[in-house]
Copies of this chain bind each other. A is one copy, B any other.
Amino acid sequence: MITAEAKDKLLDLHNRYVECLDENRLEEWPKLFLEDGLYRILSRENEEANLTAYWMYFNHQRLMRDRIVALRKATVFNIHRNRHVTGNVRITESGDGQFDMKSNFVLVQTDVEGNSELSIAGVYRDKVVFENGEPKFRERTVVADTFNPPRILAVPV
């Protein structure tokens, strides 16, 4: 039985995640994970085929921070704005104080001309634990249905 308070905190973590990406406050993104947390993106096709061809794979906050620094200073990629709409959040307790969370999403990207398009659709699969009373991602896996997105993905999803 998940308490209403725990549920609110988990939803809040999920919403802050989306908010910092959509508002381009990328520096806040690694802090939502445990220090040795795992973030990865793979396509649904590869997952179903048991292929571990990840689009992104960071298993430490340090690597996540590196990516953000690279995005800010070095990487050349199409400038765009992101907007996630997520729904169907399901939370279950998996023992050992870990919560499993799943949610569906669409990511809409808008280019510098103001045109928006569906970038990718998929599902978040999370393992969340509490550290000093605050929920943190032990793992967030993004499974992307779309494996041929209209533009290359540089920024975390």
Contacts and interface: CB of A to CB of B under 8 A. Distances in A.
Interface of A: 4, 12, 14-15, 18-19, 22, 43-45, 81, 83-90, 102, 104-106, 108, 110, 113-118, 120-123, 145-149
Number of copies: 3
Contact of A44 (B18, B45, B81): B81
A147 B108 contact: no
Contact of A15 (B14, B90, B147): B90
29 contacts: A4-B4, A12-B90, A14-B88, A15-B89, A15-B90, A19-B88, A19-B90, A19-B102, A22-B104, A45-B114, A81-B145, A83-B104, A83-B106, A83-B121, A84-B104, A85-B85, A85-B86, A85-B87, A85-B88, A85-B105, A86-B88, A106-B106, A108-B145, A113-B148, A114-B146, A114-B147, A114-B148, A116-B118, A116-B145
